[in-house]
Amino acid sequence: MSVETTLDIAAIRARFPILAQTENGQPLVYLDSGATTQKPDTVIEAVRDYYRHDNANVHRGVYALSERATEAYEGARDQLRDFIHAPSRKELVFVRGATEAINLVAQSYGRAFLQPGDEVLITELEHHSNIVPWQFLREQIGIKLVVVPINERGEVPLADFEAALSDRTRLVAISHMSNALGTINDVTAMARLAKEKGAKVLVDGAQAIAHLPVDVQAIGCDFYVFSGHKMYGPTGIGVLWAREALLEQMPPYQGGGDMIHTVTFEKTEYNELPYKFEAGTPNIAGVVGLGAAVRFMQSLDRAAIEAYERELLDYATEQLQNLPGLVIIGQARHKAAVISFKIEGAHPHDLATLMDQDGIAVRASHHCAQPVMQKFQVPATVRASFGVYNTFDDVDRLVASVQEALDMLV
């Protein structure tokens, strides 16, 4: 099947070297972009060229290598500011990924400004990275963790979300898009309701950043976090966006070099934003690669990407539902790029292992979202998650491989 699109999918695929290889003698079909996306040639080249030509520490040298490294590092921050429509470059803090960003907010903002009995509201959809840090905070200072349930479609009903808010709600931490089910939350409406209660809002955008346009000002949140490797960039790098006024009030998360202005044995004065939160030598190559990933995404028609991935998801859903015994877990009315499914009598790990023999890379696990699995009473699912490089032929091969595995297992 094909679909009308302004995107040249063949040309896009050609920019991802790994997609040209074979696995187990079969052309690779990569359907695990929810775990990590593959990297285009320009990202790989940017990281390579940094190490080959500009490798030096940032902010500290007056020699040419250091100046070029600093220019690339800070240039990426400016690109990311524009990418998510942030008001100021001071509001973007480089971290290892969305996980570290959430932990930073929990340990810096949470421990400084929350009190025993204050409520942090999350949902049943959350990744472990947006659950465990708040459990740490509950153990450390005695906050109350409030969980909004999801319905049988894998959605967070807005009425249930509003009902869970209270006068003690101080922080709401919600995913923009579920990694396990693909559900897209109405984070703008959720942020508005939370603000009416005086709560701060953190949005986990790790999954959404590659599939949806992100405008932090339009959303109305206070914190937005994401990882580079989920948006065609390198691993080990991510971003915390936070309102400047909040970052000014928050204490540093870590101490060390570059986050200081002056140090004596009696006292330390901290650096200005965002460097107050960037202790030590940063992942410079990762930032350079992330800047290249932003340029790659901006070179494409984002609306066309969203429409194409929607067609791909609809086609895959239709084809998989025709297979006997296959049940799609999570059928939210507003979802993107992810299909999780189970088949009675076939363990997800067995399915994924057999599919690997056909060169099909899918994920079989709880997807670091065990409460979601518990909700649907399954130990795990098979998850196919798409990127801009996937095709309708990939879907056809996925469906044929599942059918072949079914013939063997059921």
Q: Which active-site residues does the annotation give?
A: 368
Q: CA 173, CA 146: separation in Å to the nearest integer? A: 10
The position carrying tokens 């409406």 is 189
Contact residues for 152 (Cβ-Cβ < 8 A; gap 6+): none
